[in-house]
Every structure is written in C-alpha cells, then in structure tokens.
Amino acid sequence: MIFTVAIDGPAAAGKGTISRAVAARFGFAHLDTGALYRAVGVKGGDPVAAANGLTPEDLSRDDLRTLEAGLAASRVAVIPEVRAALLDFQRRFARREGGAVLDGRDIGTVICPEAEVKLFVTASAEVRAHRRWLEVGGDAARVLAEVRERDDRDMNRADAPLKPAADAVLLDTSGLGPEEAIAQAIALVQAQMPG
Ligand code: CDP
Ligand code: CDP
C-alpha cells in the first residue's frame, strides 16, 4: 500500500509528537525532515555540498535538537540548491511501500502534493515557545524570540515557504494536550484509509 501522511507546521507545534504516534498506530515509516536541514546546518562548510553528501552519522548527531541547530537549519533551508539536494530522498520516502508519515514545512505543498492525508498543525507562538522552553530550558524570552525568528524566515522564503496546502486540515493544538492532538490526527488518517 502506498499511503502518505503529510504533517506540516511551525516550530514546536507538535508535528513530531503526532507523526510518531500516527506512524506507530498504522505501522508506517516516519521521516522527521527537519533533521535533514538541522544536520546540514550544524555540519558547517558549504551547505550545498553538505546536503548532497549527508550521511547516517550526520543524522544521528546528538546536537541536532538544540535551538542553535534549529536556527542554523532555517538559514540553510532558504537555499534552493540545498532543498533540491534533499528532494528525491524525501519523495521516495513518501511513496515507499507500506505507508509513510513525513513532518516538516513543505511536505503537503512541495514534497508530496498527492499525499492522502495533509495536516497543518499550529499553536500560538507563545504556547509553542513555552513547550520548547520546557524541553531546552534557558532564557524563556530568548526561546520565544528564536521561535519567532525561525517562523518568520520559514514563512517568507521564496522557495517552499511554510504555508498550509489548499487541501490541508488545520489542527490548532494551543488548547490541546498531546493525547488529544494525537487522537484527532489518528481519526483523520483512519477516515482516509482504504478498506
Ligand atoms: O515537531 P514539533 O517541533 O512541531 O513539536 P514536538 O517536538 O512534537 O512538540 C514539542 C513539545 O510540545 C513536546 O515536548 C511535546 O510533548 C509538547 N506538545 C504538547 O505539549 N502538546 C501537544 N498537543 C503537542 C506537543
Ligand atoms: O521541530 P521544529 O519544528 O522546531 O523544527 P524542525 O522541523 O526540525 O525544522 C528545523 C528547520 O528546518 C525549520 O525551521 C525550517 O527552516 C527547516 N525545514 C524546512 O525548511 N523544510 C522542512 N520540510 C523541514 C524543516
């Protein structure tokens, strides 16, 4: 079965939490596409060369989830040649046999416009920054500023900007805990499953 679930949205909206749960529930493979951009961002040197030569080791570094890695990712993510270098891998992953969940910024719009289910997960910037602050700690005002800076760069870039696909279902998780958000996403996927 070929079946793609595209989950897009801004930083710390809950995309990864929902994606992992949907993948586990339906036995689909999951790709966190943000990790690709984070790995390119932290590798240093020429970002286009880094994107063309990403290795499994680059993707398993334990410093990919830092605020700095997120900012570095959003800076290399504006470069069209970087996005182009990562495109085929993501497209093939999306249409692999057995079903796939991909989360990122442009899955429903660019990577897999034919996805069977498209979710655009959002929450207010304050709620998202608070969630990220609970994970990384430090100065809460700085976490909020960095979330806003990244959202701004992601929404305003020319190539594959962050925006909901015309046929995406919007899921605002501002007032939802992870379990409620997961339940809504699973119900949406279930409704589109064949048979
Ligand atoms: O992948 P993304 O950056 O969009 O977000 P995430 O890593 O799934 O979620 C960021 C944090 O928010 C995690 O610690 C989640 O447990 C938490 N979260 C939440 O509190 N409520 C939700 N509805 C979803 C996620
Ligand atoms: O987990 P969080 O939402 O904070 O970030 P992420 O999904 O790991 O993405 C990090 C950065 O990579 C984003 O801010 C985007 O600039 C970039 N990205 C992208 O441009 N396209 C994607 N499909 C995924 C991430």
pLDDT beyond 90 at 105: yes
Classify residue 86 as exposed, middle or buried by CB count within 10 Å of its CB (0-12, 13-18, 19+): buried
Substitution candidate for ligand 1 out of 105, 131, 176 with most atoms within 8 A of CB: 131
SS3 102: strand
Q: For 20-57, write each residue's pLDDT tens digit.
A: 999 999 999 999 999 999 999 999 999 999 999 999 99
pLDDT at 195 over 90: no
Cα–Cα nearest to 169, from 37, 1, 3, 6: 6
ipTM over 0.90 threshold: yes
Please state the rounded mean pLDDT for residues 70-88. Answer: 98
Q: What is the pLDDT of residues 112-165, one digit of tens each?
A: 999 999 999 999 999 999 999 999 999 999 999 999 999 999 999 999 999 999
* Atom 8, ligand 2: residue with shortest CA distance: 34
* Ligand 1 center–CA 9 separation, angstroms: 11
Contact present, 106 and 157 (Cβ < 8 Å): no
> Ligand 2 center to residue 25 CA distance, Å?
24
Average pLDDT over residues 6-17: 98
- pLDDT for the residue 16: 98
3-class state of residue 191 by DSSP = helix
Question: How far is the centre of ligand 2, averaged over its atoms, from the C-alpha of 97 (Å)?
Answer: 25
Average pLDDT, the chain: 97
**Residues 175-192: what's their mean pLDDT?**
97
Q: How many helices (H) and strands (E) does the chain have?
A: 9, 5
CB atoms within 10 A of CB 159: 14
**pTM to 2 decimal places:** 0.97
